Amino acid sequence: MFSQSEENYLKAIYQLSSITKDGVSTNDIAKKLETKASSVSDMIKRLSEKKLIEYKKYYGVRLTKEGEHIACSVVRKHRLWEVFLVDKLNFSWDEVHDVAEQLEHIKSPKLIEELDAFLGFPKKDPHGDPIPDKHGNYHVVEKTLLSNLHPGEKGICIGVKDSSSDFLKYLDRQAVKLGDEIAVMAKEDYDDSIHIKIDKRELNISKKIASNLYIQTP
């Protein structure tokens, strides 16, 4: 069995790996986990001895098959718990993260399979991220950032890149939800803000907002 700390490192490496084909650097892990590079170095040694990652000093790390399996199952648990909190316990999507960070470490295969069934085998978490099934498989949907769309183009909002509470609350205030159709009306060269039409309303949003909304591409 693995400690919560080990699981957190594996999850961080798993998520950082998905955005680069190179190994993951010590510093990147440290930043992601808000810890010191020296602590990461120590943990890398431990995980390496346990054959959960591959590691050569001064080079990045990669997950082994087993490391990836564990990381993926932690992600699965995290996202299933998020669905539970939102669907069953009236949490809003900006409140779930910290609790799911705790719940993802509960050890019980039966618990997670039953929870999955209880929730109706959801495919996405409240932020639009895919939930791996028990074998680690998940469906990748073609998507792009709203900031990449040109005036006249449109699509369905299917996820958020940043799932910080502040960003999600902003979306709530603007009544922007997953599943909404968003059409880009115009782009403002001066500040890169864009004018969109969403759900019959028109709205002006900044470049930063547009860079954190995923749009399904047909």
**Which of its own copies, DNA, none does 58 bind, CB closer than 5 to 8 A by kind?**
DNA
Paired strand residues for 215: 144, 157
Q: Does the protein bind its own copies through residue 98 (CB under 8 A)?
A: yes
Number of amino acids touching its own copies (CB under 8 A): 18
3-state DSSP: the chain helix, strand, coil percent, rounded to 5? 45, 20, 40
Using the contact rule CB under 7 A, the part of the chain among 39-47, 126-134, 136-144, 169-177 near DNA is 39-47
Which residues inside 6-25 make contact with DNA, applying CB under 7 A?
Answer: 6, 25
CB-nearer residue toward DNA: 25 or 193: 25
Using the contact rule CB under 8 A, the part of the chain among 106-114, 157-165, 183-191, 209-217 near its own copies is 106-114
How far apart (Å, rounded) are the C-alpha atoms in residues 203 and 170? 13
Q: Does the protein bind DNA through residue 60 (CB under 7 A)?
A: yes
Q: Which of 2, 102, 97 is nearest to 43 (CA)?
A: 2
CB-nearer residue toward DNA: 44 or 103: 44
Q: How far is CA 23 from the centre of its chain?
A: 19
Residue 2 burial (CB < 10 Å; 0-12/13-18/19+)?
middle
Q: Does the protein bind its own copies through residue 198 (CB under 8 A)?
A: no
